[in-house]
Amino acid sequence: MQKIKFSLVYRDMWQSSGKYVPRVDQLKAIAPHIIEMGCFDRIESNGGGFEQINLLFGENPNKALREWTKPFKEAGIETHMLDRSLNALRMRPVPADVRKLMYKVKKAQGTDITRIFCGMNDPRNIIDSIRYAKEAGMKTQAALSITFSEVHTVEYFTDLAMKVIEGGADEICLKDMAGIGRPVWLGKIVKNIKDKHPDIPVQYHSHSGPGFAMASILEVVRAGAEYIDVGMEPLSWGTGHVDLLAVQAMLKDAGYDVSDVNMDAYMKVRKINQEFMKDFLGYYINPTNRVMNSLLISSGLPGGMMGSLMDDLEKNLIDLNRWNKKNNKPELTEDELLVKLFQEVEFIWPKLGYPPLVTPFSQYVKNVAVMNVSQLMKGGERWQMIPDNVWDMLTGKLGQLPGKLAPEIVELAKKEGKEFFTGNPQELYPDKLDEFRKEMDENGWEYGEDDEELFELAMHPEQYRNYKSGAAKEAFEKDLARRKKEGGGLYSGTEAPKAEEKPASAPEKPSSMTIEVDGEKFKVRVSYDDSNGENDKGKNNSSATEQNPGQGNTGQSRKGEMEEVPSPLSGNFYLTKELSEKPIKVGDTVKKGDVLGYIEAMKTYNTIRSNKDGKVAEIIQDNGTEVFEDDVLFLLETES
């Protein structure tokens, strides 16, 4: 009788349902009861988004991971992390020296296995990580990012599996991130792997959203898979994962050897999870994410992204409805926007070369779709804003696309002066640890046990700096207080307010204007006599000198025309995204096309460029500030 083992993807359960994961004190509280359930051979310990999430609510991810893995190690349960190969634990490429340090740190922190996937399914990226992880003493599990298209065939995935096994992979994972792998089709892939490599363990990971997952689990087990990833109530199904109890019962009935579940412990874990939701996590879980939806079959968007997607769509909906209201157009509901997004993803995916819809490329495709939908609704055209990281994907800088780009995208690339790259992507991203050592030394920051703090800064620079300064925790607490006051989410007592009820949808008041006196132009900020001293967006209307010391004076005389540079979308405003970048400052001369800053939205950095030659007259927003679409970021003085 074949033994089937279960792995609990506990932290992914939360991220696939909402924006955040439990705090370290919560992880420590629940771990003993998970062990007491007596049915898990593996526990997911870490992953691509978890560390950034820790930093976002002001918690040290290194402490969280050490505390989480410790009880499982003591109980003899293996732990595994999710690793984005070239992108390691973030959304953009990582230098080789930082990738190598990651495996040393994670091994020291108690993680046994690294599950390595490349969003492009480029074996070069995966094999580099296999080599680095083995050098650090970790077990390597190469993941096939499962998606379903005319180019993603049984033969395609079988060939990929053979290449990564030849490259040194100890195990294979079928990472069915959207749950759209067809059951029989998946079984054929597993059988092909087992026919050639019967001793290579196979693990299956699926999200349950579209509805295939239970049938898929039965098929891959019949074909020889030994490990199955599961979730548990109250965060199974929906955009999350299949439920442990259902899978255990199905496989037991089919004649497989599966562990029994201690139901007393199961109910303890379930109760504690509900308490975590009532504490704060439920405020970040959109009820829609608890529902299975076969519309996901056509769009192929991954379950792990849907939690954060609904949070992002809330901001997109506000922006679009502000525009609709201003232009006397009917306002959209969240469901209407979601359907438009699904349809647009389905339309553009083949044109973008069929990148597997897994992090970060699912976000890239989704972001382009959101921007296209916005432009089309406003009477514009598609492809008006393609972020730099999307161009990196399209031009081969992140790996080779599975399919061919549509002629219109190739033509647009030529028009934009983009060059296509065919080498190994790692060549484009040189070592940088020495730069981060210098920053740590200058700030007097400790490198941490096993250099884990140095690693954290190098992996997540902006988030780590905001964590160290306390800005991250302050922003999180402010946002949580707002959500508790407004309601919404799961276990929060009320339905989420409609977009037009939010402050961002209030009637617009001009915040600045240009006046001309005796032929000279002056840019002035407009203040309103609000009792709390804030304008309708909740932003303080003090002068630029007060908000941005040394950044300029809004009332000073200027010789040229004033050009406003607005934010093209909602998100967080940053002057830089890399340590090596020099931030723009007031008085700098810029040319058309020069980088002014970035909007970090939907987990990607969108570059803000100057549309004209000129001089930076004012930087309106503080670094790290949350902004809405059309908020002014810069004033440029251009020639009259």
pLDDT in tens, 1-13: 799 999 999 999 9
531 has a pLDDT exceeding 50: no
pLDDT band at 37 (very low <50, low <70, confident <90, very high): very high
Whether residue 443 lies inside any domain: the answer is no
CATH number at residue 348: 1.10.472
Cβ contact 594:565 at 8 Å: no
Contacts of 350 (CB under 8 A, 6+ apart): 149, 403, 406
Q: How far apart are CA 43 and CA 35, in angstroms?
A: 10
What does DSSP say about strands 626-627 and 557-558: parallel, antiparallel, or unpaired? unpaired
Residues 259 and 341 in one domain: no
Q: Indicate if 329 and 233 belong to the same structural domain.
A: no
State how far the Cα of 26 lies from the Cα of 14, in Å rounded to an integer. 12
pLDDT tens sequence across 234-281: 999 988 899 999 999 999 999 999 999 999 999 999 999 999 999 999
Where is the domain boundary, 412, 428, 444?
428
Q: Which of 400, 428, 456 is the last residue of a domain?
A: 428
Helix (H, G, I), strand (E, B) or coil at 194: helix
Do 253 and 354 share a structural domain?
Answer: no
Backbone angles phi, psi at 145, to 5 degrees: -75, 100
In a domain, 455, yes or no: no
pLDDT over 90, % of the chain: 58
- Span 188-214, average pLDDT: 96
Name the pairing type of β-strands 78-83 and 113-116.
parallel
Asked if 316 and 337 count as a contact pair (C-beta separation under 8 A), the reply is yes
Which of 68, 79, 56 is closest to 25 using CA atoms? Answer: 68
Higher pLDDT pick, 358 / 22: 22
CA distance 286 to 20: 12
Asked if 251 and 379 sit in the same domain, the reply is: no
Distance CA 273, CA 279 (A): 10
pLDDT classification of 535: cutoffs 50, 70, 90: very low
Average pLDDT of the segment spanning 563-582: 83
Among 40-44, 227-231, 611-615, the least confident range: 611-615
User: Is 525 within the bounds of a domain?
Assistant: yes
What is the pLDDT, as a whole number, of residue 533?
37
Cis (ω within 30 of 0) for the bond into 61?
Answer: no
Same domain, 248 and 373: no
Specify if 433 maps to a domain. Answer: no
Same domain, yes or no: 275 and 349: no
Q: Is residue 47 part of a domain?
A: yes
Among residues 310, 295, 296, the alpha carbon closest in space to that of 370 is found at 310
The residue among 220 and 551 whose pLDDT is bigger is 220
Q: Given a cut of 70, is residue 496 above it in pLDDT?
A: no
The answer to whether the CB of 97 falls within 8 A of the CB of 431 is: yes
317 & 238 share domain: no
Q: What is the mean pLDDT of the chain?
A: 86
DSSP 8-state assignment for residue 518: T
Q: Looking at the structure, do residues 248 and 323 belong to the same domain, yes or no?
A: no
Task: Kindly compute the dihedral angle of the four CA atoms of residues 222, 225, 226, 232, in this order, to the nearest 10 degrees.
Answer: -90
User: Contact, 244 vs 232, CB < 8 A?
Assistant: yes
pLDDT tens for 48-98 read: 778 988 998 899 999 999 999 999 999 999 999 999 999 999 988 999 999
Residue 308 has pLDDT above 70, yes or no: no
Q: Is 60 exceeded by the pLDDT of residue 625? A: yes
Q: What is the pLDDT of residue 612?
A: 87
> Per-residue DSSP letters for 88-133?
TTSSS---HHHHHHHHHHHHHTT--EEEE--TT--HHHHHHHHHHH
Per-residue pLDDT of 501-526, as tens digits, reads 444 434 444 444 545 544 444 445 45
Q: Is residue 478 part of a domain?
A: no
Provide CB contacts within 8 A for 454, sequence distance 6+: 101, 433, 436, 437, 440, 447, 448
Task: Quote the DSSP letter at residue 395.
Answer: T
Closest Cα partner for 620 from 514, 513, 535, 547? 547
* Phi then psi dihedrals of residue 8, to 5 deg: -90, 120
Tokens of 59: 């918690």
Is residue 351 very low, low, confident or very high in pLDDT (cuts 50, 70, 90)?
Answer: very high
Q: How far is CA 528 from CA 296, 513, 514, 549, 555, in A?
A: 46, 14, 17, 22, 17
Instruction: Judge residue 253's burial from the number of C-beta atoms within 10 Å of its C-beta, 0-12 exposed, 13-18 middle, 19 or more buried.
Output: exposed
Last residue of a domain, one of 290, 320, 352: 290
Percent of the chain with pLDDT over 70: 85
Query: How many Cα neighbours within 13 Å face the side chain of 341?
Result: 26
Cβ-based neighbours of 486, under 8 Å, separated by 6 or more: 496, 497, 502
Residue 510 is predicted with a pLDDT of 47
pLDDT higher at 594 or 533: 594
Strands 571-574 and 595-601: antiparallel
541 — pLDDT class (breaks 50, 70, 90): very low
Residue 462 belongs to some domain of the structure: no
Query: In 408-464, where do the E strands start and end?
Result: none
| Statement to judge: residues 214 and 240 lie in one domain | yes
279-305 pLDDT tens trace: 999 998 888 777 766 666 665 565 555
- Residue 557 CB-density burial (10 A; 0-12 exposed, 13-18 middle, 19+ buried): exposed
- Residue 456 within any structural domain of the chain: no
Over residues 366-422, the pLDDT tens digits come to 888 888 988 888 888 899 888 888 999 999 999 999 999 999 999 999 998 999 999
pTM over 0.85? The answer is no
499: pLDDT strictly greater than 50 = no
Strand partners, 524: 513
User: Is the pLDDT at 545 greater than 50, yes or no?
Assistant: no
What is the residue range of 142's domain?
5-290
CATH number of the domain residue 614 falls in: 2.40.50.100
Are 105 and 450 spatial neighbours (Cβ–Cβ below 8 Å)? Answer: yes
Which range has the top average pLDDT, 304-308, 377-381, 476-480, 607-611?
476-480
Q: Is the model's pLDDT at 163 over the cut of 90?
A: yes
Element (DSSP H or E) covering residue 70 = helix 61-74
State how many domains the chain has. Answer: 3
Same domain as 283, residue 139: yes
Distance between CA atoms of 119 and 112, rounded to whole angstroms?
22
Look up the CATH number of the domain holding residue 162. Answer: 3.20.20.70
Q: What is the CA radius of gyration of the chain?
A: 25
**283, 321: one domain:** no
The whole-angstrom separation of Cα 327 and Cα 321 is 10
When pLDDT is averaged across residues 132-158 and rounded to a whole number, the result is 96
**Do 113 and 256 sit in the same domain of this protein?**
yes
